[in-house]
Structure 1
Amino acid sequence: MRALKLLLYTLPIHLASASPEQHVLQPADQHPLAPLDGGQKPLPEHPETFPAFLDALDVLQADYFAIWQGLWPTGIDWTSAVIGTHVSASLSTLSSSFSSLTSSKSKENLVNKYFSQLVASYFGQDAFALRQEAYDDILWVVLGWVESIKFINQHNTLHYKNEGEAWYGTQWIPAFAHRARLFWNLASQGWDTSLCSGGMIWSPWLEPYKNAITNELYIAASISMYLYFPGDENTSPFSIPNTITTPGRHPAKDPKYLAAAVEAYKWLNASNMTDAAGLYVDGYHITGYTSNRSRRSNTRCDARNEMVYTYNQGVLLTGQRGLYEATGARSYLSDGHALIRNVISATGFNNTKAETDKWQGLGRNGIMEESCDAPGYCSQDGQTFKGIFFHHLTAFCARLPDHITTEKEMDKHVLEQIRKWHDKQCASYVPWIRVNARAALGTRDEEGRFGMWWGAPSHHHNIQLPELPDEAVDYRNLGVPAQWKEDGTHKRRGEMGMGETAGQGIGATDLNSRGRGRT
């Protein structure tokens, strides 16, 4: 399941690059109010890639989604929230690609099929259990339902604007918005200034850990709420401590969301959380921390976990893109492009032939790779990461808006210059994206299921295992160390364990069948 949804992003991106007049990375449109005849273009016709995208989506949902339960039974809470996000974004791709389908009935039926499954997942999502989980788990939920709202608005505008009545899916916006608001409020309780002068803590159930993903999610979710949250009149069912709201009214464009994103971005930038290659490491512990405040002497983030994961390089891109749209500050886009270039370099793209098989930090031979891919011990977490990166890359490189509303009116010529520059930068990534899309397509088995390790060699003796940095703890694949647990009981709900070996071992003919296998 996780490996399949990776392709929901590489395939549409690869498809967009197939036509010279097609805007780079544009299919998963991030601007639902852009009319189809005003610049929004569908995916180009393509004899191979678009059907492969549809097949990947079909296998994901047909094989792994239980409609009667409204969930992906083998998924844990946070990965299921991510899958829902990807389904929503895939629906946006379908909606803007109707010219690639044969008839109006088949088009609408296909969209309604997957949208109805998305609605079912709203009821299948265990919102009560998620409230007791880590702050990053909670924030994935926010991003997921905001993505669904974006799709609904886009589909309604593109195809029902002149129909006299709205698309039926708009009736779900209030419910989705309500859940997004509640979960953002819950997650915001993780912002902590008593340690490290700010930043989100990962989990209230563990020793304090200020990690990249929770802070990137907080930035991305906060700015997404500012840009896309439509408001919420529903005051039920929970009262969140330490929050002040106007009774019965939670407005759109609430400045608290923008302020939270800006503050968190400043903190992350000043946190020294990138390595020598310009990649985000996982996070910081506080040396000598004790929960007894009277005995605490150190409040600095001074014990850095040097582990590098692909998704830590991706989620921030949505935050950077959104912050540009909200403020007009080009520096956010510049930061994002610099990060993307660092990621591409860390996969060994454009290296000399002698260096191609060598681990470069996030892959080799130009193909993105998790460090757990080659040894075959990826957990469900690790199997999800690359898809997350490509989702947020797609969001970052979507068409910039023609007009943005900021405190100061921006000159249209300046905006046009920024758009052209942004498009040029994104266009330069297309060759690398093609390499990854083709590699991923090559991992499909006879049932259409994709493998996790896109760059797997054909023979076992060619495997060169990655060398992890000193002070790197791969807790997302190997489990949370005992010393991180204050009570020794923490484990994500529904997770059977890290690094489990459901598949075959190193002697497997298919290297993507090892470990958890094709899940």
Structure 2
Amino acid sequence: MRFLQILAGLAGLVSLANPIQASTIVDPKIAAKAAIDSMNNAFYNPSEGRWSPDIAWWISGTALQAVLDYMQMTGSLDYLDQARYIVDKQKAPLPGWPQGGGNFRADSTDDTAWWALAMLRMFDLTGDKQYLSIAMQDEQYIWNYWTDTECGGGIYVDIRAMTYKNAIANALYIKLAAGLHLRMGDSHYLARALKSHQWFEESGMINAEGLVNDGLTQDKTNGVCFNNEGPTWSYLQGALIGGLVELFRATHNETYIRSAVTLANAVIFSPQLTPSSTWVLTDYACERTAAGCNFDQQSFKGIFARNLGELDAQLVARPYRAYLEHNADLAYQKARNADDTYGTSWAGPYDGSSLAKQQSAASLWVALLQGQDTV
């Protein structure tokens, strides 16, 4: 009972502050499926077992996550054969990568983590322990690149050079380790997740506005690490929210869910990430520039939406649903083409399609399917 009271109280606090009242103009299940089908039609390469093989490999990993989440939320198995095929093709050793790269061990810890998280969902869908085994192997591989020396802890993102302790690699690791604990009950995964979170909180990567910057810089003269004031990309906020939600689910410690709510609110009320002119999530560091967003950056907002949906599903009053609905509705009306492909900015106008844009929009719609039976 106290658990439900905590969640209800948090939900009330968020709802009072949220200026958005929305409801979707289309059925999220229908819109999500249309976005996934369009992603397959436009970008899937069966011979390669991935979408858009010419762009970053990790984007196919997060596209797979959107497809798997859709099946998990709806009970559909429409794409399961495709998902199995993708995993079998992509887990093969990759020449030139550390340890051959087999089972998604990439040359960066964040790329490894995207695929490892998808393997947790593959296990959830199928009950097949081979996928859990891959996620366990990847977790250990990532953990091997934790050091206590530079910056007092943290995981390097660049495996080849053993450089750069940043937000995305460490936030994804928290979610992965906590997720393994939830599925296996093995306390050493939880211990690692808690250690990683404590380090993250103390690292300085969370700025005065309560948002996560890109990573840390080390002073070469004294060895002190400090926030590099890199962009507060939406996916950084989302990945940490996802890790906090998993820690809460693993421990029922309200501190983690409160931190997730605080971070989500910081995004929604950030004039840069959610400008008041539209109340639509915006990666300002690229969307508001002449150069625009590259493929990596086009992927970011859907990752935030996915994790915000996971947080919302934990809160009885569903305080973030209206925000997600508002973003989805604007994207559907302003950023969607006749073939159900989506552009970069969810406030429009449509600016052409790519896998990165499409998996981001699919993730937004799938986020609205999270926890539909929550009471």
Could you state the TM-score of these two structures normalised by the residue count of structure 1?
0.58
CA contact (8 A) 2:342 2:352 kept: no
Paired with 2:244 and 2:357, the residues of 1 have a C-alpha distance of 33
Q: How far is the alpha carbon of 1:514 from its aligned partner? A: 9.3
Q: 1:384 to 1:515 in 2, by over 3 A?
A: closer
Q: 1:429 to 1:211 in 2, by over 3 A?
A: same
Unaligned runs of 5+ in 1: 1-23, 25-43, 96-110, 153-168, 229-251, 289-296, 349-359, 400-421, 458-509
Q: How far is the alpha carbon of 1:68 from its aligned partner? A: 4.0
For 2:193, which of 261, 283, 292 is the aligned residue? Answer: 261
Residue 373, structure 1, aligned to residue 264, structure 2: no
Which amino acid counterpart does residue 432 of structure 1 have in structure 2?
Answer: Y
Please list the CA deviations of residues 372-394 of structure 1 after superposition, one character each: whole Å capped at 9, or x if unmatched. Answer: 12335211110111111111112
Q: How far is the alpha carbon of 1:178 from its aligned partner? A: 1.8
For 1:446, which of 338, 346, 367 is the aligned residue? Answer: 338
Q: How far is the alpha carbon of 1:73 from its aligned partner? A: 3.3
Q: How far is the alpha carbon of 1:86 from its aligned partner? A: 1.2
Please list the CA deviations of residues 419-469 of structure 1 after superposition, one character each: whole Å capped at 9, or x if unmatched. Answer: xxx323xx3323322221111112111221111111236xxxxxxxxxxxx
CA contact (8 A) 2:239 2:307 kept: yes
Aligned to 1:7: none
Aligned to 1:285: 217
CA contact (8 A) 1:190 1:201 kept: yes
Q: Which deviates more, 135-144 or 121-130?
A: 121-130
For 1:423, which of 292, 313, 316 is the aligned residue? Answer: 316
CA contact (8 A) 2:295 2:356 kept: no
Aligned to 1:116: 81
Q: Which has the higher contact order (CA 8 A, sep 6+)?
A: 2
Paired with 1:323 and 1:339, the residues of 2 have a C-alpha distance of 15
CA contact (8 A) 1:287 1:303 kept: no
Q: How far is the alpha carbon of 1:207 from its aligned partner? A: 6.2
Q: 1:177 to 1:517 in 2, by over 3 A?
A: closer
CA contact (8 A) 1:320 1:332 kept: yes
Aligned to 2:32: 53
CA RMSD of aligned residues (A): 2.5
Counterparts of 1:22-37 in structure 2, within 5 Å, are: none
Paired with 2:106 and 2:147, the residues of 1 have a C-alpha distance of 18
Aligned to 1:72: 51
Of Structure 1 and Structure 2, the greater helix share is in: 2
Q: How far is the alpha carbon of 1:517 from its aligned partner? A: 9.5
Residue 387, structure 1, aligned to residue 302, structure 2: yes
Counterparts of 1:59-138 in structure 2, within 5 Å, are: 59-74=38-53, 75-95=55-75, 111-129=76-94, 130=101, 131-138=105-112
Q: 1:136 to 1:48 in 2, by over 3 A?
A: closer
Aligned to 2:7: none
Question: Which secondary structure state, in structure 1, belongs to the residue aligned with residue 302 of structure 2?
Answer: helix
Residue 341, structure 1, aligned to residue 265, structure 2: yes
Please list the CA deviations of residues 149-196 of structure 1 after superposition, one character each: whole Å capped at 9, or x if unmatched. Answer: 22x1xxxxxxxxxxxxxxxx44xx122112111111111111110111
Please list the CA deviations of residues 206-242 of structure 1 after superposition, one character each: whole Å capped at 9, or x if unmatched. Answer: 46211111110110010001112xxxxxxxxxxxxxx
Aligned to 1:436: 327
Paired with 1:516 and 1:141, the residues of 2 have a C-alpha distance of 17
Paired with 2:224 and 2:119, the residues of 1 have a C-alpha distance of 35
CA contact (8 A) 2:24 2:329 kept: no
Could you state the TM-score of these two structures normalised by the residue count of structure 2?
0.79
Q: Percent identity?
A: 24
Question: Which secondary structure state, in structure 1, belongs to the residue aligned with residue 191 of structure 2?
Answer: helix
Question: Which secondary structure state, in structure 2, belongs to the residue aligned with residue 196 of structure 1?
Answer: helix
Unaligned runs of 5+ in 2: 1-10, 12-22, 95-100, 359-375
CA contact (8 A) 1:378 1:515 kept: no
Aligned to 1:195: 150
Q: 1:340 to 1:302 in 2, by over 3 A?
A: closer
CA contact (8 A) 1:275 1:281 kept: yes
Paired with 1:301 and 1:209, the residues of 2 have a C-alpha distance of 11
CA contact (8 A) 1:309 1:362 kept: no
Q: 1:341 to 1:255 in 2, by over 3 A?
A: same
Q: How far is the alpha carbon of 1:362 from its aligned partner? A: 4.8
Paired with 1:514 and 1:64, the residues of 2 have a C-alpha distance of 10
Q: 1:255 to 1:123 in 2, by over 3 A?
A: same
Paired with 2:353 and 2:52, the residues of 1 have a C-alpha distance of 21
Question: Which secondary structure state, in structure 1, belongs to the residue aligned with residue 178 of structure 2?
Answer: helix
Paired with 1:201 and 1:423, the residues of 2 have a C-alpha distance of 37
